[in-house]
Structure 1
Amino acid sequence: MHRRPNPGQEFLRGRTVGDVAREQGKAVFDALLDIVVADDLKTVFELPSRTEDDRSWRLRADLWRDERIIAGASDAGAHLDMIEGFASCTQLLSIGVRERGLLSLEEAVRQLTSVPAGLIGLRGRGLLKQGHWADIVVFDAGAIGPGTVHTRYDIPGGAGRIYSEATGIGNVIVNGQEVFRARQFCGNYPGAILCSGRDTDTVPLSAGSH
């Protein structure tokens, strides 16, 4: 269990329902119901990860290098209340690069920038190059990573979303203007909506190469 909205039950974070049931002398299902009722049905449960072994991480690296895969892709927030996929980029840089050495830092950055830009056909983006749009993230390679995951209730209507503040990011620059500095919003809104055809080139399916 994690991301508990009820501060009075914060001690349950990171524990299993089975452990709590045994401690309280209850059936597992009864313990589960008691927990979610006390949290107004907002408790989040997750299965323990079974893919943190060396082999699983090597398979991830194989996928990152596959020309059919976009390493930094997402579902654009379709499951923002239940899936932690938003941290995949910082996990790649922290675990995949720094901790396990499965990719070089340069290759990981390429997989998250020029590769997706090229496959999507974005014009003038994905590279630090004269004449391109200056979309830049300045980060500390020794500190980049996902922060603690928790739920924020800041969606219109009071709905919640799973959130994690990345660590190790110093500056975010969009279209040449600084947007974030040391986790603080700078008050600039230089971004723009990109339109297919106007801001993209058609990439043939047969291109198939990074």
Structure 2
Amino acid sequence: MAGRPTGLLLGLETTFHPFGAHPAYQEIAHLPLPERVTRMRDPAVRRRLLEEKPEHEMPVALFIAQSFHKLFPLGDPPDYEPPAEASVAARAAREGRTPQEVVYDLLLERDGRAMLYFPLLNYANGDFEAIRAMLEHPLAVLGLSDGGAHCGIICDASMPTYMLQYWVRDRVRGPRLGLEEVVRHQTRRTAELYGLLDRGLLAPGFRADLNLIDLEELGLDAPQVVYDLPAGGRRLIQRPRGYRATIQSGRVTFENGEPTGERPGRLLRGPIPSPR
């Protein structure tokens, strides 16, 4: 299971957003982001986009783009457990505007790099209490990411950091989880599930895979789009803070968030027995 809702990120650089299928947007979609933002700030373009109807071929995309009660500004720092009053629909009602107007302005924040958050699963009640109940179940195991297949709209690579930052330290909308339990979720419990019994414990003979963390400084930047895949392909990344060192097989692979050049990892083709 995941430690936060299965969610989609919508922005001018992501796979789609609420205006992506509008004819007026399609006319400028090929432009570099700064030029697109400049065009979208033009009152005439804004008026046309707000008056047009989208030409979606996928009903699910139209559903997401118009579910304003479940669409939230992600923010920086990002908020994955936003209250109902932070939704686009609630904000539009407070301000006497249409949801489309609110979305339009939100997408142009941060020079067009702001993102909207659509919690698709595990957020029916508008909080993390159902997720907490599952995390506390003795058979629960963390996992679940479809980001490799949908790297332009999903970014779950930050989940391990998020578990420590939010569930252990920052959550205010409900009970938190203990540090020891969250660490165990992401170490020994996962190792046992996959039969990698030589890791996940600090004990003689076990693999020395460690993260040295400054828990007070631990945090996540807002997701961002980079174009570093083959042929300039797009993907979402989210940079963490607060990792003093990452040690794999006893060798430091990252120090203060920067790679050291050490690469002691190897391909695992099956279960590994316990050293004791």
Cα deviation 1:22-62 (Å, max 9, x = unaligned) = 993224374979x9xxxxxxx99745448779962222111
Contact 1:125 1:135 in 2 (8 A): yes
The match for 1:7 among 11, 26, 34 is 34
More strand by share: 2
The match for 1:81 among 152, 164, 171 is 152
Relative to the length of structure 2, the TM-score reads 0.57
Structure 2 residues not aligned, in runs of 5+: 1-9, 14-31, 56-103, 105-112
Residue 28 of structure 1 corresponds to 50
User: Does residue 123 of the first structure (1) align with residue 197 of the second (2)?
Assistant: yes
Q: Aligned partners of 1:80 and 1:168: how far apart in 2?
A: 24
Contact 1:145 1:167 in 2 (8 A): yes
Deviating more after overlay: 138-147 vs 48-57 = 48-57
Residue 57 of structure 1 corresponds to 128
Residue 183 of structure 2 corresponds to 109
Q: 3-state DSSP class of the match of 2:134? A: helix
Contact 1:154 1:160 in 2 (8 A): yes
Computed over aligned residues only, the root mean square deviation of the Cα atoms, in angstroms, reads 3.7
Q: Aligned partners of 1:184 and 1:24: how far apart in 2?
A: 42
Q: C-alpha displacement at 1:8, in angstroms? A: 4.0
The match for 1:173 among 239, 247, 250 is 247
AA partner of residue 80 (structure 1): C
AA partner of residue 184 (structure 2): R
Q: C-alpha displacement at 1:20, in angstroms? A: 9.5
Q: C-alpha displacement at 1:11, in angstroms? A: 8.1
- In the alignment of these two chains, the number of paired residues is 187
Contact 1:135 1:175 in 2 (8 A): yes
Taking only the aligned residue pairs, the percentage that are identical comes to: 25
Q: 3-state DSSP class of the match of 1:188? A: coil
Relative to the length of structure 1, the TM-score reads 0.72
Q: Aligned partners of 2:144 and 2:159: how far apart in 1?
A: 9
User: Does residue 90 of the first structure (1) align with residue 161 of the second (2)?
Assistant: yes
Contact 2:228 2:234 in 1 (8 A): yes
Q: C-alpha displacement at 1:3, in angstroms? A: 6.1
Contact 1:136 1:174 in 2 (8 A): yes
Residue 157 of structure 1 corresponds to 231
User: Does residue 67 of the first structure (1) align with residue 177 of the second (2)?
Assistant: no
Contact 1:94 1:143 in 2 (8 A): no
Q: C-alpha displacement at 1:181, in angstroms? A: 0.4
Write out the 4+ residue segments of structure 1 that deviate beyond 6 Å after TM superposition. 19-23, 50-55
Contact 1:72 1:89 in 2 (8 A): no
Cα deviation 1:110-147 (Å, max 9, x = unaligned) = 11111111111102111111111111111111122222
